[in-house]
Structure 1
């Protein structure tokens, strides 16, 4: 086929997250669950280098808006932007086009759907010469597969509760309260309890993860696990590494990410011998942060790396002062968070 009639690409959808967190500078990054576009078996977002964005198919938008977005992609309504352009990825914090968005023309060609002329857009008109993604697309999708994939979203109710609520169990109520507040700030629901045995099964099904404080003994942990097993709930269990709020938030974000490795950008973190080993599947920005408790049990935080890494494995030297004693390393990309204890 010619460039004017490109070969067919496969089209699919898959759950994805924009990982939230408490950053080293004290800022908060909101957690977002969304449906990503899978083109030729790979998330389309990964082709866009280091882009912190989500698709318009987010689970936390009102159902009517979610449905309108799907019908727009099916070309059942007029394009929201001039030139037949649709937002493919937008700002994860707001819906303002001024923040920037990846847009593309979506059109019908017979029974096929074509996505072309991808661009970074910050105003009503797109400047393809200045801001076009010239190496991406056009993509031609078979109409039946395209409609089936998007149409399935109209028959399913997006369920954010099971992936975005966490049950916190521990002895230090003050730490749990601060942790719950931080999680709620970034868009993750959090509840505190000392005993899950009396919680009704329907309520247990609302949780995607359970986080245990270090003081929770094995007997209590076992009892909690049995409560969830009886309710038929498959949750992720988090063993809190230290009473450091940003570190605990990162652990919980990692636990809530159930996506397979091939759908992640950040897939490996090793911390040992004064260095961190990081593996990424596509070019992206990676931040490494060290956390530790000093002799007076005060939390210490140091950002030790912030840069764009190409696909592959990388070794990053760590500041010895940042990782002395019992310390922990958090690696973060826009869609993934990994946590490791610094090995001695």
Structure 2
């Protein structure tokens, strides 16, 4: 249910007289209508963010709210909302949440626990006020409100504004004994909903890994990280014994960006047998020269990958990430709407397979 928010009224500066009966109500700076006597019947109305009833809590448009009223004697509770435009809503009784009779010491909440609907805060924004009126006997509200159709869940209130509602209620309570009714008022602020400027990131991996976003460690993998400022950032995923995975992610406000990474075991160093000439002396000299110069042979598969990646970078492509597989390497590059994947695979008999695939997205 999305019902208009309970909104505040400006306190009236002048009192208005209603009828001559001793139980007539009067307007107060802190309420819509109050009993001029001090009955032993009492009612207290609260919103869920203020258990004391003395505060003025804040809600934003779209927040859920619960209004509760408690009486010290068996009584019937009536709840009304008035917004700054003067529109009045009757919250209780209604056709959704049961009757409005409350036992002594009990609390009636709207929505009640177990109800299959919610009360959502709406506009307009500003100071808000909700009135609870308790009576020892049922009140006839025909002059104030009515259900216009059999499908209406809430009654339509005919009165407009605080003064109109106070006058209408005064007529209703006029015939009642002085000690048979009482009222209370709760306040809260409604603020506009701020635009969402943050998003979330989920990083899924096949092993336990660490996630580093924009140079800052977020924590472990397989976790959703929230309240991240929208934007595009570099991300690195690391795990002991596995090759790092690096790419960029774009975090969009109000959504979850998913990044799934299949980390590959780190390549083991390949120890090549020394090349011999059959001459012990020449082999010794060659070994000494190799030790002095620190000459090492590069992995042919990596050399092939680097060469192809360099060619693509010269064509304007940007490397998004490189990972090691059990049979070689895979690099991903992008340019505009095109994504290129370079896969280098070691084959039998010291052969290499270099595969380049390109995917281009077109808008139509």
- For normalisation by structure 1, the TM-score amounts to 0.20
Bigger Cα Rg: 2
Structure with the largest fraction of helix: 1
Structure with the largest fraction of strand: 2
